[in-house]
Amino acid sequence: MNTKIHPALVGSLTSTAPSEGIINFSPGPTSLPKDVEKKIASIFNKGGLTSLALSHRSPEFLKILEHTIAITRKVMEIPDDYEVIFTHGGGHGQFAAVPLNLCHEKSDIATYIVNGTWSARGRDEAMKYCSVKTIDGRDMQTGNYTTFPKLNESDIDPESKYLYLCSNETVNGIELHRLPKLPESRKHVPLVVDASSDFTSKPIDWHGSGVGVLFACASKNIGHPGLTVAIVRRDLLGKDKASPLCPGVFNYTINSEAGNLWNTPATFNIEVVGLLMDWLENKGGVAANECRSIDKANTLYDVIDNSKGFYGTPVNDKGLRSRMNIPFNIKGGDETLTNKFLVESWDLGMVGLRTLTPFGVGDYLRASLYNGVTLEETKKLADFMESFAKKNS
């Protein structure tokens, strides 16, 4: 008996399709836009030292760093009273960095809105460093995360050092298309946003939503693994603000005062972020990118909603459906059909629809539509889904 498992069923991204036809729907790390990849290749083909080998204090790299910060500010319309800080440690590093920077004492209160896998993980990490209060977004009947909780005044402790949320839950398929406005009596509480998977996909009302800190790991929408951007409101900086336990590498104030050079930053990764932001500006900025994100997401959700139940998705509220990560199952999770779908789509070059995660493979497949995925590539998946449903209904 042949017991060999097909590569598609264990998350392989190496399809037998021609390399130029491979579409990476992985939830991250994922692919960059083709134009950005070509720009990177041209830099390396020029010869001479690249940012992989530049001293972080050399004038050549300082020019790259200055450009990346400036173009990020421009594209994302970041106000002057915010610092742009590049850090190590990914999103998980920020799960610790946020409470260590904003809570001086272990007894300081932080309120966490938990509406999915990643906000729960951020909350659990913060419990080591501060006193956490939770606004629970689970469905009380199913125990699943399929919505976003209402922010009642009474649920937000007025003594909170910050209110934390994840604006796009990649596993659960829930996205806030706009950040919430806090009740008037709680507007003094800074909003902390994990925007790792939806940064650059929509405008941010920095002051209107009271954003205190917004962070995003690079490996989904703006670059490669190994870099995280933290955008911090300056009134939250100060040597007396952070916990005395906060490591220097995660300390916002230390890194801001050092101009992102307190220790060696991820030089190449910073340059790639700058190139991605250049690409976004040339494509019409963040507003135009939101329109592309909406079009891509609707292309798949329309197939799901019109499939007469062949495909399902966990979030019924269309106003909360993620544009970045579209979870879907086949015939309620039919294993045979799901495996057949994965193999056939993989053979056509559509990879990353199932990846191995710390949480297993999950109940749903996921199509992630980050900046590296075009509308035309999304339509290719939609056409395959329609064809597959007709053949297997």
Cβ-based neighbours of 161, under 8 Å, separated by 6 or more: 102, 103, 108, 109, 110, 130, 189, 190
Residue 118 known to be catalytic: yes
72 vs 286: CA distance, rounded Å: 11
Residue of 202, 220, 296, 380 marked catalytic = 220
241 vs 255: CA distance, rounded Å: 14
**C-alpha separations of 62 from 39, 80, 265 in Å:** 20, 20, 11
Q: What DSSP state is assigned to residue 336?
A: H
Q: Quote the radius of gyration of the chain (alpha carbons, Å).
A: 21
170 vs 358: CA distance, rounded Å: 13
Residue 4 known to be catalytic: no
Residue 346 known to be catalytic: no
Residue of 118, 206, 279, 346 marked catalytic = 118
How crowded is residue 29: how many other Cβ atoms within 10 Å of its Cβ? 16
* 367 closest CA partner among 74, 23, 91, 34: 23
275 vs 74: CA distance, rounded Å: 13
* 164 closest CA partner among 135, 198, 199: 135
Q: What DSSP state is assigned to residue 357?
A: B
110 vs 171: CA distance, rounded Å: 24
Cβ-based neighbours of 259, under 8 Å, separated by 6 or more: none
Catalytic residues: 118, 194, 220
